Amino acid sequence: MPRVRPVIVVANWKMNTTPREAGDLAGRIAAATNEPDVVRVICPPFVGLHAVRDALAGTDVQLGVQNVHWEQAGAYTGEISAAMVAGLAGWAIVGHSERRRDQHETDERIGQKMRRCHETGIRPIFCVGEKLDERESGRAEQVVRSQVEAAFEALGPVEWPAHDDDATGGWLVVAYEPVWAIGTGRTARGSDAAEMAELIRETAGNAMPREQAAALPVLYGGSVTSATIGEFLAEPALDGALVGGASLKVDEMAGIVARAAVGARARKSAGPVS
């Protein structure tokens, strides 16, 4: 049966905060964003996982990691596998544009990371998005479609449980992050991001049951702030945000989650997705 897609706000702290700072910040964000209608996830650096876990104890804010390796174990110095964090974190960002750029991650590797997440019960937040030259040359949709197709091909066959009673949106979440809008002060238009979200679901529907693809949460990530998030949350095709720099500020996170909560309650009143 169709269901209401959840509204999800993910904080990606990137390479910021010491463990002590991370614990303090997580506690203050949890206290300022007490909105049960919004799924909230904080992804600190690996060294801050225990401190953030302890700070979030007794709250409904969930814990994620910023990356996992594509293998479960092996001779990969300095890397962290999904199996290592499965007892701490329930979410993992995979394929973020900064890792595609700096660590040269391929769609194949990203799909393999998704498989490792699936094996360990972690929800991947699968990031896709085009660069500025790709958008200006009219290839944005082609690029994103290719990223989704290639990652799903590398993921391979998996069981897609319905999770009809799962308020966090089932096993997989996708984040559309136009690369040209990250850290530049530029943002995509809400309508453009919504069109891309539908493209993502359409493409995913070739690799997973169509009904579940229609219920696939798609977040927007691209210099999200409390001032810009409203345009994106107003789009029914978008289901929240992957927040970077603004997630390090308690007031910003409080504003973003408050706006998200308004949208989440409106969705519940409107009923399931078609």
Q: Of these residues, 96, 98, 105, 134, which one is catalytic?
A: 96
C-alpha–C-alpha distance, residues 114 and 178, integer Å: 20
Residues with Cβ within 8 Å of 216's Cβ and at least 6 positions away in sequence, in order, are 5, 169, 170, 172, 173, 174, 200, 201, 204, 208
Task: Tell me if residue 96 is catalytic.
Answer: yes
Residues with Cβ within 8 Å of 251's Cβ and at least 6 positions away in sequence, in order, are 32, 226
C-alpha–C-alpha distance, residues 183 and 162, integer Å: 36
Q: Do the Cβ atoms of 201 and 218 come closer than 8 Å?
A: yes
Q: Of these residues, 98, 130, 134, 177, which one is catalytic?
A: 177
Going by C-alpha positions, the residue among 120, 126, 119 that lies closest to residue 88 is: 120
Task: Tell me if residue 177 is catalytic.
Answer: yes
C-alpha–C-alpha distance, residues 255 and 148, integer Å: 31
Active-site amino acid positions: 96, 177
